[in-house]
A and B are shown apart, each in its own frame.
Chain A
C-alpha cells in the first residue's frame, strides 16, 4: 500500500503563495451586520506573529525551507502550539488555502523525520500507539468496558469478529477509554438498538484510527494503524457483510474519510463501504421516519461544531492542470460534506430542545482547543481554550452545549469545570437517547 502524504518540500510552492496579509487572523464577515471574532486559539494565547494563524505557521515553514530556522526546543514547541483547527484556513483566499493544515502537519512530519519531534508528551502518545494500539495506554481488554452494561441487560453488542452485521460501529479510542466520554458509545449503541440497526463492533480488536499520530507528525505510525484498519475494513466488507462504517468520533471520521484517502488502495477497499458519522446517520433515519421521539427535554442548548466534522471536510476546487486559471489555483470551496446542518436539524427535532447559536459557528467555529496534539502536549492551555468556548456558549443563555465529538466532549467539560461553569458538554446522542420513542 502506497501513501501520498506530502513532505514540506513538496508543499513549498504553496507555502510561497502566502502573502502574509493576515486575513487569516480573524473570523470576519461583512454581513451586514459585520462581525469579527478571534479565530486562532494559538494566536490568542501566545500572540507573537509566528504563533498567529496560518500567517505565522507559514513563516515557520518558510524559515525551515530556506534554512534560517533550525530545530531547538522552543521552535519545536512553537510548531506544536497549534490546534490545527483550520479556523485560519476558513478566512484565507489564496492558492495555499486548501493546504494549510497539511503544511502545518508537514512541518511536524519533518520534525519527526529529523529526529526532533514530536514533543516528549506526544512521544508517550505514539509509544502508546505502538504498544497498545491506542493513544491512552489502555490495555485492549478495557476497550470493551463500556459494553458490559449491554451484556448485563441481555442486549449484548454483536462482535463482528464472530458475527456478520450491516453496520460496523467504529467506536474510537476516546469513547472507549476516556471515562467521561464513554457515555457517547453507550448512548450511541442504545439508540442503534432502539432503531433495530444490524450493527456490531470490533471489540478488543479495534485499533486506533491513527488520527492522533497524523496530527503530531508521526506518519509512520499513522500508516501502520491506517493500513491495518483498511485491511480490517476490507475483511469486514468481504467476510462480514459490512456495508457502512459508522463512527461517533469526529477525529476518527475525519481520519477515515480524509487521511485514509491518501492511500493508493483506498478507492478499491472502500468501494461499497459508506463511512458515516452518527449524527448524519441519525438525521437520515429521523428524516426517513425511523427515528422517533417522545418526552420533553426542556433544555436550552447551544451547538459546538467540531473542527473535524466541520471545516476539515471542506472540499476545495483546485485548478490542477491550469485549465481555468493556472496550475494549482484555488478556485472555490464546497461545504457539502461538512456536518453543519445535520446535528442542528436533529437537535431542533428533539422535543423540548431550544437551540441558540453562539457567534462563532460552522466554518468560523472556535476550536475547543484540544486538537492537533494540544490536549496531550499542552494540557493546561487546552483546558483554558475550552473554558473560553464554554464562556461563549454561556453567553447565549443556553443550559448546555452539544457536540458530536468525544474529544471536544472531554476537553470542553474540563474547560467548564475549570471556569466553574455549570454548563455541560453533551454529545448529541446523549440527548437523543433520553427521548427515544419506546418501542416496547
Chain B
C-alpha cells in the first residue's frame, strides 16, 4: 500500500489523498511506525493513517470526513511531549501539522505574534531576535511547537514575569472536531485584531489544556515582549528543600525576576544520573538560578541589591542559603533558550537511554517541600534520581514541581519501573493539591479518581458538545 501512488487505495486513504494530495497521506506501516512512540513510557500504538495538512481548509475537510466515518484524529506537531499525548489510543488519522509553519505576523507595536501550529521554538526565536523581541522559551527541544506548548499550559523562561505560555495566548483560530472554523478572542470580532482574549468570554479555555481533544488550533496569537539587553543570573544553593522554598517565596514577592527556578542536585547534572547515584556529601542538594533582565546597568544593580537583601534575610532566618556558582553547562543550557543541551535531550535522557517521563505538576509552593521529600524516597526506592525542578509562577505562590525521570527504554522492565515510580509520585502530589499538566492517560485516571463529580460531568458535557463523535484524540482525558 503506502503513499498515494498505490494502485488500490483504502477508501479512507483515497479520501485523504484527495484532500491533501499525493505524497501527503499514507497508510504505509513504516510511515505510521515513526508516529507510534515518543520519549515517554507510554506503550507504542500505531495510527492507521498519516496525513500532512498544509491549509486550514484541508484540516476542515479531514475532520468532516473523520466525523462522517467516525475515525479518530490525533493532531501532531513536533511530537516532543513526554506524556504520550500524540500516541493514538484508538488508531485513526495522525494529522501532522509540521508543514503549517508560517509565522503570519509579528507586530512589535502590539507585542503580538500570529503563528501556525508547526512553528517551532527555534524558528520563532530566530525571527523575534531580529526584532529585539522575546518569548518564554521552554527547556524542550528547539524543534518543539510553540503552539502546542502554549495550548497545553507549557512553561517557559519568562514564567515568573508573564506567567505560563497559555497565559500569553491572545487569540485563536480553531477547526472544531466537526469541521467548522471558529475564532476566539479579539480576532473573532475583527479579523486582523489578535491582541487579546479579553474582555469577551474566555472561550480560549475550550481549547487549552484539553490535550488536543477539542479541536485543531490553526492560528495562534501570542504576546511577545521587548528583550532587555542586560542579563543577570542570581544563583544560590542550600542543603534542603524547605530552605529553597523559603528563598524562592521571598524573592518572588519582589517580582524582579523572569524565572525563579530551583533544581535538585540530580537535575543540575548534565546528564541526570541514571540509575540513581548518591549526591556527594559536599554538594548542595538544591541549586537555584533566577534570571533577571534589565535595560540599564542602574536597573540591574537595583535588582541585584534586592536579591542581596533576600539572601541576607534568608541567612538571618538561619536557612542554609548561600550564594554559589551553578554548573556552567547546565546554566548555559537553562538560560540560553531554546537549547540543544537541556530539554528532552542531553541532560535529561542521555544516561538513561531513550526514555524520559515525569510527574509534571502545578503545585502550591508551600507543598513543595513535603511532596519533594516523599518523591525523593519513592524515586530512590526505584533506583531513580530525584531530579526535581521547582519554578515559581507569576504573582502566585504556586508553581511547577516536577521530576524528570530518565530510563532505559530498551528494557521493558526498566520502563515499567519508571512508570510505576512516576505514578506513585503523582499520587503523592495529587493528594497534596497538585495537578499534573500534559498528563498521560495513567495520570488522567488518577486525576479523575479524585475529581469532583460536577467537574467530570462538565468536562464530559463540553467534550460531547464540541466533539459529538469523540474523534479528537480520544481516550486521553480518561473520561
Contacts and interface: CB of A to CB of B under 8 A. Distances in A.
Contacts of B339: 30
B91 interface: no
B46 to A, nearest CB: 9
A21 B353 contact: no
B58 to A, nearest CB: 14
A31 interface: yes
B344 A19 contact: yes
Nearest to B410: A16
A215 interface: no
Given A23-B142, A47-B99, A34 B129 contact: yes
B126 A20 contact: no
Contacts of B356: 19
A36 B338 CA distance: 11
Interface in A85-101: 91, 93-95
Interface stretch (B25-33, B286-294, B456-464): B25-33
Nearest to A79: B30
A419 B141 CA distance: 34
A19 B122 contact: no
Interface in A211-225: none
Could you say which interface size class chain A belongs to?
A: 35 or more
A74 interface: yes
A46 interface: yes
A25 B3 CA distance: 22
B24 to A, nearest CB: 7
Interface string B15-54: 0000000011010111101110111000000000010100
Interface in A1-40: 13, 16-23, 25-26, 28, 30-36
A318 to B, nearest CB: 13
A95 B24 CA distance: 32
A68 B143 contact: no
A45 to B, nearest CB: 9
A36 B33 contact: no
Given A17-B353, A63-B30, A22 B52 contact: no
A150 interface: no
Interface stretch (A48-56, A240-248, A382-390): A48-56
A21 B344 contact: yes
Given A28-B340, A47-B52, A326 B351 contact: yes
B341 interface: yes
A31 B410 contact: no
Contacts of A28: 122, 126, 142-143, 338, 340
Contacts of B409: 16, 19
B111 interface: no
Contact of A56 (B3, B34, B336): B34
B410 A21 contact: no
Nearest to B98: A47
Given A28-B142, A48-B50, A69 B340 contact: no
Contacts of B31: 48-50, 78
B350 A20 contact: no
Given A34-B126, A74-B2, A23 B26 contact: no
Contacts of A31: 129
Contacts of B50: 48
A79 to B, nearest CB: 8
Contacts of A19: 39, 344-345, 349, 354-356, 409
B143 A26 contact: yes
Nearest to B356: A19
B21 to A, nearest CB: 11
Nearest to B30: A75
Interface centre among A30, A50, A69 (most CB of B within 10 A): A30
B29 A68 contact: yes
A170 interface: no
B319 interface: no
A94 B122 contact: no
A231 interface: no
A170 to B, nearest CB: 37
Given A28-B142, A35-B126, A75-B28, A94 B34 contact: no
A73 B124 CA distance: 38
Contacts of A55: 34
Interface in B114-128: 120, 122-123, 125-126
Given A21-B344, A32-B129, A48-B52, A94 B350 contact: yes
Nearest to B346: A93
A46 B99 CA distance: 11
Contacts of A20: 37-39, 79, 354
B242 interface: no
A48 B96 contact: yes
A326 B339 CA distance: 24
A70 B232 CA distance: 54
A392 to B, nearest CB: 15
Contacts of A330: 350
Contacts of B408: 16
A211 to B, nearest CB: 27
Interface string A61-73: 0010000110011
Contacts of B143: 22-23, 25-26, 28
Given A30-B339, A48-B26, A60 B351 contact: no
B142 A59 contact: no
Interface of A: 13, 16-23, 25-26, 28, 30-36, 46-50, 52, 55-56, 59-60, 63, 68-69, 72-75, 78, 91, 93-95, 325-326, 329-330
Which 8 A-B pairs have CB atoms at the shortest separation, nearest pair first? A74-B2, A50-B34, A36-B122, A59-B34, A93-B346, A16-B410, A28-B122, A28-B142
